[in-house]
Structure 1
């Protein structure tokens, strides 16, 4: 199972909505969550939803260090791989 950018965008929208000035359909992989309008509370909620939906546990420091969608996607995929192994 892979966690994709589309999965992340869906969960971000479900958990925190979207800043009207940000186009999540654009090239957002390397933009910071701050630039996308998501603060730490929104990311904590997003992390919780990912954990529930995918049956994994995300390390809080890894989640906090994931400043971009690419970094968060990679953290989730690494945890999914470790859980499957």
Structure 2
């Protein structure tokens, strides 16, 4: 399990590994508050992303966490809350 916070760079890397990127989207840009759907990532891509996050960071994300996080900022916040809870358990 990682003790470092989950960052936007971590998310960018995992999104690319899990589902690639739409040619019209610049993941290197300011995407923190852009809806995943506008970035070209739908539910299946987010489920794969969530699975990769779980394996790499040693946490468990429920399906509602992935559907509730509509932006990168939302997902990063959820992952960091899980990491924080796991480190205090």
TM-score range, shorter-chain basis?
A: over 0.9
In the other structure, the counterpart of 2:7 is 4
Measured on the aligned residues, the alpha-carbon RMSD in Å equals 0.5
Tell me the TM-score normalised to structure 1 length.
0.98
Query: Alignment partner for residue 45 of structure 2, among 42, 46, 49?
Result: 42
Q: Find out whether 1:68 has 2:76 as its counterpart.
A: no
Q: Within 5 Å, which residues of 2 pair with 1:22-37?
A: 22-37=25-40
Task: Using the TM superposition, give the Cα deviation of residue 59 of structure 1 relative to its aligned residue in structure 2, in angstroms.
Answer: 1.9
Segments ≥4 residues shifted beyond 6 Å: none
Stretches of structure 2 lacking an aligned partner (at least 5 in a row): none
Q: Distance in 2 between matches of 1:38 and 1:62?
A: 15
- Give the length in aligned residue pairs: 85
Stretches of structure 1 lacking an aligned partner (at least 5 in a row): none
Relative to its length, the structure with more helix (as a share) is 1
Task: Using the TM superposition, give the Cα deviation of residue 63 of structure 1 relative to its aligned residue in structure 2, in angstroms.
Answer: 1.4
